Amino acid sequence: MRILLQNLTKRYPNRNRRIKEEVVAVDSFNYEIPDGKLIGLLGPSGCGKSTMLNMICGLEKPTEGRILFGDEDVTAVPAENRGVGMVFQSYALYPHLTVRQNITFPLGNLKGEARLSKEEMDKKAEEAAALVQIDMLMDRRPGELSGGQQQRVAIARALVKRPRVLLLDEPLSNLDARLRLQTREEIRRIQRETGITTVFVTHDQEEAMSISDEIVVMQAGVIQQTGRPQDVYDDPANLFVAKFLGTPPVNVFDGAVRDGMLWIGQDAVLPVKGLTDRPVIVGIRPEGFILQEDGPLHCSLRAVEVMGRDTSVVSVHGACQAPQLRSIISAESRVDTSRAEVRFAVKPAKTLLFDCETQVRLRAELG
């Protein structure tokens, strides 16, 4: 099911009655969620992710704009008739019901011809439970399950009606690191197996990047960029997106374009074409540094951390906006830790330039 979000806007009256100004939770959102894909909706706390999901499922009414499922305008269709399965930020299982009863719960509300017999409900519950691999736990209560198992019950409950659209609001936030990893792969598998169009909300960029076909990066209710995770990472539209994606994060420097060179402080790091002389903000990804004896970027060495596959070099540069910069180099390269200085060359493809005022990405030919 393709979902079209047209000019979608949600404004809330301010909770402080004395303030007239409204809260714009989602601002003129235009996006097409492709059929059968998994979309990661990503952004910092308060940027409007839950509001967005609540509008898609029908729990919140948009202030402006339209929502289409396929060709059908569902903007005014009540939540229960939209065919949407939702897993909430807190997954809200009924503690006094068994897993089976929790999963069949949404089927109990079916009316008229859609009504199911107990056997039919149980069969559907078994199918949904098998999909998330909890079919052996059907007679337990939520209190007797681990966090990850409870999570899967919530997903099975969302799947039991065979929804046209599956919405997951931070479904992994209550799990420990290992279980998070496992469960997110599980979600990916279930989504592939069922082909249900899915929107997955998270503020964890790594999580979104690892399982999404496409990501949508939001800030303050506004879409910053959409696209395939790798494309958005390689080609961010602005400084916010560049900083939001990637661990360790991009290193940010005050720089300048002068006489055909890109300068970081006193260091001329790369030739640059297509930009007139001007100050710029320079972002260099951690993997964009090459350890080089006579490299142009002069840094003071602080620490070398060997992390199995690669080595992380922590250093200091006067033009860096942060107290320290972090570069990731291959474990084979040896850093001479007896020296106070470490020098790098930088990779043009990992170097990003931004306008100092607007923070919008500047297109230039580097290297």
Q: Give the whole-angstrom CA distance, residue 24 versus residue 318.
A: 39
Nearest to 99 by CA among 145, 31, 36: 145
Strand ranges (DSSP E) for 21-70? 23-33, 38-42, 64-69
Q: Which stretch binds Mg ion (CB under 5 A): 46-54, 236-244, 259-267, 282-290?
A: 46-54
Q: Which stretch binds Mg ion (CB under 5 A): 44-52, 90-98, 206-214, 265-273?
A: 44-52
Instruction: Output DSSP code: residue 132.
Output: T
Q: What tokens were used for 329? A: 């180099």
Nearest distance, CB of residue 45 and Mg ion, angstroms: 7
Q: How far is CA 306 from CA 75, 243, 249, 298, in A?
A: 53, 24, 18, 21
Nearest to 2 by CA among 192, 189, 199: 199
* Cβ-based nearer residue to ligand ATP, 40 or 43: 43
* Cβ-based nearer residue to ligand ATP, 49 or 317: 49
SS3 assignment, position 214: strand
* Cβ-based nearer residue to Mg ion, 44 or 274: 44
Cα dihedral 206, 211, 216, 218 sign? negative
The reply to whether 202 sits near Mg ion by the rule CB under 5 A is: no
Q: Give the whole-angstrom CA distance, residue 333 versus residue 159.
A: 49
Instruction: Output DSSP code: residue 163.
Output: -
Q: Which stretch binds Mg ion (CB under 5 A): 50-58, 123-131, 317-325, 328-336?
A: 50-58
Q: What tokens were used for 200? A: 């997955």
Q: Which does 94 bind (CB under 5 to 8 A by kind): ligand ATP, Mg ion, none?
A: none
Q: Which does 184 bind (CB under 5 to 8 A by kind): Mg ion, ligand ATP, none?
A: none
Nearest distance, CB of residue 217 and Mg ion, angstroms: 15
Nearest distance, CB of residue 120 and ligand ATP, angstroms: 36
Q: What tokens were used for 24? A: 């714009």
Nearest distance, CB of residue 23 and ligand ATP, angstroms: 4
Nearest distance, CB of residue 245 and ligand ATP, angstroms: 16
Q: Which of 1, 5, 8, 50 binds Mg ion (CB under 5 A)?
A: 50
Cα dihedral 359, 44, 207, 191 sign? negative
* Cβ-based nearer residue to ligand ATP, 61 or 123: 61
Binding site for ligand ATP (CB under 6 A): 12, 15, 23, 25, 43, 45-51, 203
Nearest distance, CB of residue 220 and ligand ATP, angstroms: 8
* Cβ-based nearer residue to ligand ATP, 51 or 183: 51
Nearest distance, CB of residue 29 and ligand ATP, angstroms: 12
What residues are paired with 270 via a beta bridge?
A: 262
Q: Give the whole-angstrom CA distance, residue 340 versus residue 123.
A: 69
Instruction: Kindly list the residues in this chain that would bind Mg ion in the complex (CB under 5 A).
Output: 50
